[in-house]
Amino acid sequence: MHPSRNRRPGELVFNLILVGASLFLLYSAYGISGFEALSSPGAVPMLTTAVMVLAAGRILWEVLRKPVATDQSFIRDILPMPIVVTIAMVALYALALSRLGFIPTSVLFLIVMVRYLSRRGWGFCIGVAVGTVALIYLVFRLIFSVLMPQGIVPEGEILAWFSRLF
């Protein structure tokens, strides 16, 4: 993996966030039932969050002692554009899923992602997207009966219509 001798860009901030979050979780775990009993529902959460605080603190101390890596930048090495775009696309997907429905959202997502990453022709991108979604639909919806959000394409009615034909 990556060499860890030097402090990577953003590492300090990330660890500071972890320490902060661990402290908050410890406080929250204390709030579950305090020091009421050994068997209280808060006992194990308090122990684990305390371990988190100690470990995160120790890691932070190590990070602080490491020299800053000068040959790396946050934008280039940790969060380059393709990664930002991908995260944003998955987030958009999750938001659109219940409104647009599974089929259109997935096709759009795949077209955009494949086009963005591979820069291949539209025909290729659309082909990959439609093919993949068709396969997933076949496996998940038709074989495993997982009902994906329906959205704007009334596939339930279409399916029922088809099955009535036979």
Partner 1 sequence: MFKSVFGAAIALGLAATPALAEFPEKDIQGIIQWGAGGSTDTVARSVTPHAEEALGGKVILQNVTGGVGAIGLNQVERADADGYTVLFGAENPLLYKVMQLGQKDYSDFVPVNILARGVPILVARPDAPFDTFPEMIEYIKANPKTVKFGSTGPGGLPSVVSAMIQQKTPIEVTFVPYDGDGPALTALQGGAVDVMPAVLGAAIESIKGGKMKPIAIFDTEAAPQLPEVKTIVETNPEFADFLPWGPFFGVFVKKGTPDDVVAKLSEAYKTGAANEDFTKLIDGRGYKMLSLSGDDAQKFLTDWQSKTSWLVWDAGIAKKSPEEFGIPKP
Partner 2 sequence: MDILSNLLMPVTDLKLLGLIAVGTFAGIYVGAIPGLSVTMAVSILISFTFSWDVYPALALMIGIYMGGVYGGSRTAILLNIPGAPSAIATAMDGFPLAQQGRAGEAIGIVTVVSFIGGFIGILALALFAPSLSDFAIRFQPRDFMLLAIMGILLVGSLSGESLIKGVFSGALGIGIGAVGMDPLTVQDRFVFGFDELRGGVSFIAVMIGMFGVAEALSQLHSVNTPAVKQRITRIIPAWSMVRKHLPLGMQTSTIGTVVGALPGTGGDIAALMAYDYAKRTTRNPETPFGKGAVEGLVAPETANNAAVGGAFIPMMTLGIPGDAVTAIMIGALFIHGLNPGPMLMVEQPHMFWFIVGSLMLANCFMLIFGLTGIKLFVKIVELPRTVLIPVILILSIVGAYAVNNNVTDVYWMLGFGVFGYFMKEYGYPLGPVILGVILSRLLDDNWRRAIISEQESLGGLMRGIVTSPLSLCLFLAVLLIILSNTPVWRYVRRNKAA
- Pick the closer one to partner 1 by CB: 44 or 146: 146
Q: How far is the CB of 165 from partner 2 (least distance, A)?
A: 22
Report the partner that residue 30 touches, choosing among partner 1, partner 2, none (CB closer than 5 to 8 A by kind). none
Task: Name the token pair of 26.
Answer: 């410890």
Chain residues that interact with partner 2, rule: CB under 8 A: 1-2, 4, 8, 10-11, 14-15, 18, 25, 28-29, 32-33, 37-39, 41-45, 48-49, 51-52, 55-56, 58-59, 62, 78, 80, 82-83, 86-87, 90-91, 93-94, 97-98, 102, 106, 109-110, 113-114, 117-118, 120, 128, 132-133, 136, 139-140, 144-149
Q: How far is the CB of 156 from partner 1 (least distance, A)?
A: 4
Q: How far is the CB of 106 from partner 1 (least distance, A)?
A: 17
Subset of 80-99 contacting partner 1 (CB under 8 A): 99
Residues with Cβ within 8 Å of 138's Cβ and at least 6 positions away in sequence, in order, are none
SS3 for 132-147, per residue? Answer: HHHHHHHHHHHHCCCC
Report the partner that residue 165 touches, choosing among partner 1, partner 2, none (CB closer than 5 to 8 A by kind). partner 1
d(CA 66, CA 74): 17
Q: How far is the CB of 108 from partner 1 (least distance, A)?
A: 14
Longest distance between any two alpha carbons in the chain, whole Å: 72
Per rule CB under 8 A, is residue 164 in the interface with partner 1? yes
HSE at residue 65, side-chain half, CA atoms within 13 A, is: 6
Per rule CB under 8 A, is residue 61 in the interface with partner 1? no
Is the Cβ–Cβ distance between 42 and 33 less than 8 Å? Answer: yes
Phi then psi for residue 2, to 5 deg, are -80, 150
Q: How many Cβ atoms sit within 10 Å of the Cβ of residue 78?
A: 15
d(CA 63, CA 5): 9
